[in-house]
């Protein structure tokens, strides 16, 4: 697995324009529908980051990469035997690339209603959240990465998978997954989940 990242605040408007022109028509349309400039920039940067990450891993020109979407909405690179996943929060965009199914999630640490965890955490996770400064974001990013890995996205079954976190290990309640925290930048929590 390889992790790639970029900070959209470091990207010039001319680069955004060039990257936008390299996108497929359907992806351009999805960018145009976004009303918030920050979200538009994140989507453009994500497309470019994925292209370059896949290009780096597969030895194919970034311009030749075509994306498709599975029935569940998960993107894939047409004709390539590679898995990737993207996430963005704040100014950061991340992309994970692997030869196995992969999910990644990044969250900017921010003030959030501490009771929100009741919607997604089981009892043991709630204890962890209450006793660790960034526990809420750690549990949330692990769950998001897991559901992105399996391709379903978050849903009503969010409490059906749980994580046990120790100082040296993250254990998923579902067998066959390797879940880890990734240090990307200060002020952010990032997790990956890869199918074994």
First to last CA, the chain: 11
The pLDDT of residue 113 is 84
Average pLDDT over residues 112-116: 82
DSSP β-bridge partners for residue 75: 69
What the chain holds in terms of domains, given with CATH numbers, is 2-99 (3.90.470.20), 105-195 (3.90.470.20)
Question: Bigger pLDDT: 193 or 151?
Answer: 193
The pLDDT of residue 50 is 96
The angle at the Cα of 94, spanning 93 to 100, to the nearest 5 degrees, equals 155
The pLDDT of residue 156 is 60
| DSSP state letters, 171-196 | EESSTTEEEEEE--STTEEEEEEEE-
Question: Bigger pLDDT: 62 or 153?
Answer: 62
* Whether the predicted model's global pTM rises above the 0.75 cut: yes
Residues found in the chain: 196
Q: Is the pLDDT of residue 99 over 80?
A: yes
**Mean pLDDT of the chain, nearest integer:** 93
- Give the number of other Cβ atoms within 10 Å of residue 166's Cβ: 8
């Amino acid at each position: 697995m390889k992790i790639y990242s970029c900070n959209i605040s470091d990207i010039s408007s001319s680069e955004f324009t060039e990257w936008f022109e390299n996108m497929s028509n359907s992806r351009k349309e999805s960018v145009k529908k976004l009303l918030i400039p920050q979200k538009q920039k994140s989507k453009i940067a994500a497309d470019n980051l994925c292209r370059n990450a896949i290009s780096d891993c597969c030895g194919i020109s970034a311009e030749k990469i075509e994306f498709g979407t599975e029935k569940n909405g998960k993107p894939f690179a047409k004709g390539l035997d590679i898995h990737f996943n993207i996430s963005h929060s704040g100014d950061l965009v991340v992309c994970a690339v692997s030869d196995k199914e992969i999910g990644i999630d990044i969250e900017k640490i921010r003030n959030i209603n501490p009771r929100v965890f009741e919607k997604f955490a089981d009892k043991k996770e709630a204890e962890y959240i209450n006793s660790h400064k960034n526990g809420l974001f750690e549990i949330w990013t692990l769950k998001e990465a897991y559901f992105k890995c399996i391709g379903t996205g978050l849903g009503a079954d969010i409490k059906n998978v749980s994580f046990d976190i120790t100082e040296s290990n993250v254990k998923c309640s579902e067998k066959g997954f390797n879940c880890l925290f990734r240090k990307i930048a200060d002020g952010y929590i990032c997790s990956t989940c890869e199918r074994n």
